[in-house]
Amino acid sequence: MITIKEAITKKELTDYIKFPFSLYKDNEFWVPPIIADELETFDKTKNPAFENAEAYFYIAYKGNEIVGRVAAIINWSEVNDQQKKKVRFGWFDTINDIEVTKALLEKVYELGRKNNLEHVEGPMGFSNLDKVGVLTEGFDQLGTMITWYNHPYYATHFEQLGFVPEKEYLENKFPFKNVKLEYFDKAQELIKRRYQLKSLNFKKTKDVMPYVDKMFDLFNASYASLSSFVAISDTQKEYFKKKYISFINPEYIKFVEDKDGRLVAFAIVMPSFSKALQKANGKLFPFGFYHLLNARKNSKEVTFYLIGVHPEYQNKGVHAIIFKEYHTTFTEKGIETCIRTPELADNHAIHLLWKNFDPVIYCRRKTFRKEL
């Protein structure tokens, strides 16, 4: 018999978070989160996503054994401002038992119907800065800290329960040696002169901070046309600034300004923390911090987390300025591999940015949709 219980207390939420640790215990490709970090994400008093969203966390049991979990989410900005009558689900994990999947998703349907919503989509988080999609190809590839890993049967369960693919995301990587300076060096100098632009580089985090609000404003502007985009609020800007920016290598943050000091492009790259997170195994103490800091300093793999260009400057080659700056930084750091975060398969503009580097698609993931 399958029992579904809502996780409310810290103990219950910790059990919810720890379930994948047992599900993927011997899996060499799963990258565990930091447990304390996940708890903060689910804390309504700490995560500003709850200003415009509500979420409920459910655990499936067989007897006393946890066999699955899911988060049922409504992003009210999406529902009210964009008129997308959607209930989301995320942080989904289950044993290979479709009855468990069915029981968990029934809780998502209940939330949607209760609020007169029209369809369900997932896996996805609260916003565009959260993880997205169920893995459909690349099960033998090491995950990243910004993606969910899952068993192949997840997508099969969704399809058997009447879900259809909604969006597809691609993950690519390429060796840094594929990045030739001649692809963009002359172009970026020409673009700088033509549009009176300059690049900004940083050595210290404190020098980055005055630009972060502008960066999030630019993020909102540059991504506004993408499907399911929900703008980042001022409170969320402060939250992400404190939580993430201080941990990103300042030299991996690049900005481009116009002659009036307006930010027109940005990019954030992170060193790969995957192996460090596997060693930490969900805990910062006693050695988790050491592994993460070591990766921050010495990782030879980097992940392109975000890149954005103001709509006025899109299709004008401004990305060449950013690539030139990263080429210099990566050469100094001895970077060997560049990884790209999940990008919508139909976002052809972003794919064109990387074409000269001969990227290889190594993972695919999808969100699935079902009408209520």
Alpha helices (H) along 5-49: 10-23, 35-41
d(CA 32, CA 294): 17
Q: What's the full length of the chain, in residues?
A: 372
d(CA 199, CA 256): 4
What percent of the residues of the chain are helix, what percent strand, and what percent coil, each to the nearest 5? 40, 25, 30
d(CA 132, CA 219): 18
In the block, residue with structure tokens 């939250």: 239
DSSP state at residue 168: E
Q: Are the beta carbons of 99 and 38 closer than 8 angstroms? A: no
Q: Which amino acid is at 296?
A: R
Structure confidence at residue 228 (pLDDT): 64
Strands 134-137 and 53-62: unpaired
DSSP state at residue 231: P
Structure confidence at residue 38 (pLDDT): 97
Angle at CA of residue 260, ends 259 and 262, nearest 5°: 105
Task: Provide the token pair at 24.
Answer: 């993927």
Residues 6+ apart with CB under 8 A from 174: 337, 338, 354, 357, 358, 359, 360
The pTM (predicted TM-score) of the whole model is: 0.94
Angle at CA of residue 35, ends 29 and 39, nearest 5°: 130
d(CA 195, CA 68): 54
d(CA 109, CA 372): 7
Spans in the chain with pLDDT lower than 70: 227-228
d(CA 149, CA 133): 9
Q: Which amino acid is at 161?
A: L
**Residues 307-342 pLDDT 10s:** 999 999 998 999 999 999 999 999 999 999 999 999
In the block, residue with structure tokens 């940005």: 266
d(CA 336, CA 258): 32
Structure confidence at residue 129 (pLDDT): 81
Domains assigned to the chain? 2-168 (3.40.630.30), 175-364 (3.40.630.30)
d(CA 135, CA 20): 15
Three-state DSSP class for 253?
strand
Structure confidence at residue 246 (pLDDT): 82
